């Protein structure tokens, strides 16, 4: 996988407004927010997209979901947020390093897109 902008943020080569970090993942504010609160949660392990994950990534993926819950509780948005994973260019993925969008702070309608 190419050295993505997210890898550069993880490696502190590019600054970011980091809101959470642990041994497996990092979360930071999106520089192009699509909601009043827009956090990106990325694994430190380089995975280009969700469909590239395998059984060996099961613990990491579960950890990321739990981290998303922890982040939303810390930000006091645990009762109204959306978690989005875009997989592939056709689904709107623009950075090919797996990431979850945590969106909150405005009404989020359904269906999206």
The residues facing 20 across adjacent strands are 27
pTM of this structure: 0.95
Structural domains in the chain, CATH included, are 5-104 (3.30.428.10)
Asked if residue 91 has pLDDT above 80, the reply is yes
24: pLDDT strictly greater than 90: yes
Does the annotation count 38 as an active-site position? no
Pair 66, 100: CB distance under 8 Å: no
């Amino acid at each position: 996988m190419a050295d993505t902008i997210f890898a550069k943020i993880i490696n502190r080569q590019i600054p970011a407004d980091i809101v959470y970090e642990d041994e497996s993942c990092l979360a930071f504010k999106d520089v192009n927010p699509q909601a009043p609160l827009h956090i990106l949660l990325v694994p430190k392990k380089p995975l280009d997209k969700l469909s590239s994950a395998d059984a060996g990534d099961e613990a990491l993926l579960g950890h990321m979901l739990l981290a998303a819950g922890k982040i939303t509780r810390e930000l006091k948005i645990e009762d109204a947020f959306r978690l989005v994973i875009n997989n592939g260019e056709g689904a709107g993925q623009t950075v090919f390093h797996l990431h979850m969008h945590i969106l909150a702070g405005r009404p989020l309608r359904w269906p999206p897109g």
